[in-house]
Amino acid sequence: MMKRMTAILFALVLILSVALLPASAAEEPAVYSYRFDDNADLLTDAEEQALNATLYDICAKCQCNIVFFTADNLNGANFSHTGTAQDYTQRYYETCCGVNTDGVVCGLILSDEDGDRQVLLYGSGKCVKKLTDSESEEIRNNAISNHSPDRNGYYDFFNAIAVGVGEAVPPHVKWYWIPGSLLIGFAIAMIIMMILKKQLKSVAMQRGAVNYVRPGSMNVTAARDTYLYSTTTRTARPKNNSSGSSHSSGGGSYSGGGSKF
């Protein structure tokens, strides 16, 4: 009986969880955009379609702009910038989506101001708090270490970054879902507690612990010191990263940074 009730409650929780998921793009007007501009021509047409599908899902789920692009270098842009990969990426986003709008931009520049290949990942607007500096750095380093384009191709590299962004940026939640979720959770907890309480009718309160102690089990015949824990100090290997809150020449504020590889 108890197993059956547990299964029913578990199924109810799953159904309610699905019902409380953020509304899809089909249910709400699309106010945010997504795009992948492969200016350096690094992906095939099929890979571009697959990546755009992933970016669409993230855009709909998180309710923010998602902009990915590639560039051979910092020349030939149709917008003004200061000549750095950081400002180029941030101004690229502002040209597409506006200044301080909610969104994430990822740029891969094959030759930055120093002639190095660099990937940059920034959050704008509300995503400055949703995509922190450390999360941006972790996503970039994971893509470089485990999905290097030199080994796996550029699609795996960008897809790993997109998946990381989707996990780091929380889904869009409407305010009235929160009290509803709390009430449902409280109701489920009360049902479980009532079921458990009915199973404890044969249990009576004891004034002491005598009935719970096995005779002769508390005699201490030996003692010794055993060290259960040890302390290990590790120093992280420095990486060629640049992170921290920054501002574009267009007046936008960003979280995140870039990594050369």
In a 3-state reduction of DSSP, which class is residue 255?
Answer: strand
pLDDT at residue 228, as a whole number: 73
Whether residue 5 has pLDDT greater than 70? no
In this model, does residue 25 exceed pLDDT 60? Answer: no
Residues 142-160: what's their mean pLDDT? 95
**Mean pLDDT of all residues in the chain?**
83
Which segment of 5-9, 21-25, 161-165, 208-212 scores lowest on mean pLDDT? Answer: 21-25
Q: Rank 5-14, 205-214, 247-256 by mean pLDDT and report only the highest.
A: 247-256
- What's the whole-model pTM score? 0.65
Dihedral of alpha carbons 65, 122, 36, 76, sign: positive
What pLDDT is attached to residue 186? 66
Q: What is the DSSP letter of 69?
A: E
> Class of the 28-174+243-260 domain?
alpha beta
| Helix (H) / strand (E) containing 162 | helix 154-168
For residue 180, is pLDDT > 70? no
pLDDT for the residue 238? 47
177 pLDDT more than 50: no
Band of residue 27 on the pLDDT scale cut at 50, 70, 90: very low
Domains of the chain by residue range:
28-174+243-260
* Nearest C-alpha neighbor of 250 from the set 104, 100, 103: 100
The band of 3, judged by pLDDT with boundaries at 50, 70 and 90, is low
Q: Looking at residue 29, what is its pLDDT?
A: 44
pLDDT mean over 81-102: 97
**C-alpha span between 213 and 99 (Å, rounded):** 70
- Tell me what pLDDT residue 240 has: 59
Q: Considering only CA atoms, which of 33, 12, 188 is closest in space to residue 104?
A: 33
- In the predicted model, what is the mean pLDDT of residues 226-238? 64
Contact 95, 79 (CB under 8 A): yes
At 188-225, the pLDDT tens digits run: 877 887 777 777 666 666 777 677 777 767 677 777 77
